[in-house]
Structure 1
Amino acid sequence: MKKTIGMIVLLLTTSTVQAKIMTTDNTEAKQPSASVSATSDQKVKGLYFGVGAGATEFEHLDYNGPTVDSDDNMIKFIAGYQFSRIFALEGQYTKYGEINGYGWEPTAVSLTANLGYTFSNGLRPFGVAGFSAIDLNKQYDSGLEDKGVGLRYGFGLEYAPAVLSGFSARVGYEIDIFGIEYTYSSDSSGYSYGYTEIEEFALGSFYASVAYKF
C-alpha cells in the first residue's frame, strides 16, 4: 500500500512539473489557443464516483493514549457532484481496518463539503468538512453503544488533467472524531453504578484513490 501511494505521489509531482514546462513553452511560443483548448476540454462540473484504499489510525481521546495502527487496510467508496472549480458535495462509505485490542471493525458513512480550487493544469488542493455516522461493528459486547455521530474533516491533493477525459487520482488524509455512549453498570466489587457518559474517539486514514467524472 505504501508503494502504491508513493507511486501516485510521484505521478502527481511529475505531472505538475510537466504541466509547468508546457505552460512556459506555450507562453514563450505565444500560442494561447492551445491553452484555451486544454482549459475548455477540462471536466470541472459533474457527477463523479471513485474508490480508494489506505491505512487506518485510531485513538481513544479521553485517555490520551498512543495512536493505534490497524493491521488491515481501509477501503472507501466515493460519490459526489462538483458544482464549480471551488465547491463539491461529497459522500463516502469508509470501511476501516480492525482496531487492535478493541475487537472493532468500524465503518462510516459521511457527507462533506469539498472546498478547494481546480487549476487549469488539473491540480486541485482541497479540504473537506462535514458529518459522519459511525458503526463500530463490535465483535463482543461491552458497555459501549455500537453507533455514534461524528465530525469529519481532512485535506488532500487531486490531479485531473484534461487529457485523462474525466479520470482523476487523489491522495488525502481524513479523520472522524466521534462520541460513543458508555454505560457503567458495576465495578470489580459488584457495586452497581447505572450511569452513562460519552467516550470520544478518533479514526483517521491516509489514502489514495481514483475516480471518474461524468
Structure 2
Amino acid sequence: MKKLAVAAVMCSLLSSYAVASENNTALNKYKGFYVGGGVGTTDFHDKVSSEMSKEHGIGISTKSDTAYKVITGYQFNRIVSIEAQYTSYGDTKYNIVSEGDTGKFKVKQQSYSIAANVGYTFDNGLRPFATAGLGQMFIKSGSFKKDGGLYRLGAGVEYQIKQVPGLGMRVAYEADFYTLEDKYNNKDYDQSVGSWYVGTTYKF
C-alpha cells in the first residue's frame, strides 16, 4: 500500500510539473526580444511648401523616396511590446517653378523613436496592433540642419509563422508628427512624414 501511495504521489507531482511546463512554454512563446527591419514608401505632408505655393504663387512639386526601418523590441505577453525604431525616409526631391525660373533641392529626414506596441496575438499567429510613442526627428537639406521632438502613431497587423518559430511578418503604416519653426516669418508649421511598409521580425 505504501508503494502504491508513493507511486500515486509521484504521478501527481509529475503530472503537475508537466502541466506547469506546458503552460510556461505557452506563455513564453509570446515573450522575448526581437529584431527586424522594413521597407516601404515615404508619405510626406509638407505644409511649408504648400503654404508658400499658395501665398507666393510658386509651383512646387515633390517626389518622395523609399523608407527603410530598423526595428528592435521586447514583447511582454500577447498584448504589450515596447519597440524602438530607426527610420530613414530617404530624400524628398523638390522641383520649383517661379516666373519661368526653375530650381531643385532635396530634403532628407530620419527619426529615432520608442513606442508602445499594443495589440493581441491570436492562437493562429495573427496580431493586429497599434503603436504610440515619442522620438527625435533629424532634417537635412544642403547646409541646413534641424532636429526636434516628435510623436509617433501607427497601426498594422503581424503574422507569426508557425513553421519557423520566432519569424514574423508585418504590414503597417506609421507616421511621425513634428513642428518646424520658421524664425524669419515667426510661424510654426505642423509637419508629418510616414510610411506604408512591409517588415520582418525575429524573436529570440
Normalised by the size of structure 1, how large is the TM-score? 0.69
The counterpart of 2:194, out of the listed 179, 198, 204, is 204
The counterpart of 2:112, out of the listed 109, 113, 133, is 109
Residue 55 of structure 1: aligned partner: 41
Question: 1:103·1:140 contact (CA, 8 Å) conserved in 2?
Answer: no
Match of 1:162, SS state, is coil
Residue 188 of structure 1: aligned partner: none
1:46 counterpart letter in structure 2:
G
- Measure the CA separation in 1 of the matches of 2:112 and 2:63: 21
Cα deviation, residue 86, structure 1: 0.5
RMSD: 2.5
Consecutive unaligned residues of structure 1, counting only runs of 5 or more, are 1-35, 185-194
1:82 counterpart letter in structure 2:
Q
Question: 1:126·1:157 contact (CA, 8 Å) conserved in 2?
Answer: yes
Cα deviation, residue 124, structure 1: 0.3
Consecutive unaligned residues of structure 2, counting only runs of 5 or more, are 1-21, 54-59, 95-104
1:107 counterpart letter in structure 2:
Q
User: What percent of counterpart residues are identical?
Assistant: 37
Matched, 1:76 2:69: yes
- Measure the CA separation in 2 of the matches of 1:68 and 1:104: 10
- Measure the CA separation in 1 of the matches of 2:156 and 2:119: 9
Cα deviation, residue 43, structure 1: 2.3
Cα deviation, residue 67, structure 1: 9.7
- Measure the CA separation in 2 of the matches of 1:95 and 1:108: 7
Question: 2:27·2:77 contact (CA, 8 Å) conserved in 1?
Answer: no
- Measure the CA separation in 2 of the matches of 1:42 and 1:161: 16
Residue 46 of structure 1: aligned partner: 32
1:127 counterpart letter in structure 2:
A
Cα deviation, residue 68, structure 1: 5.0
Q: Whose strand proportion is higher, 1 or 2?
A: 2
Residue 90 of structure 1: aligned partner: 83
Cα deviation, residue 42, structure 1: 7.6
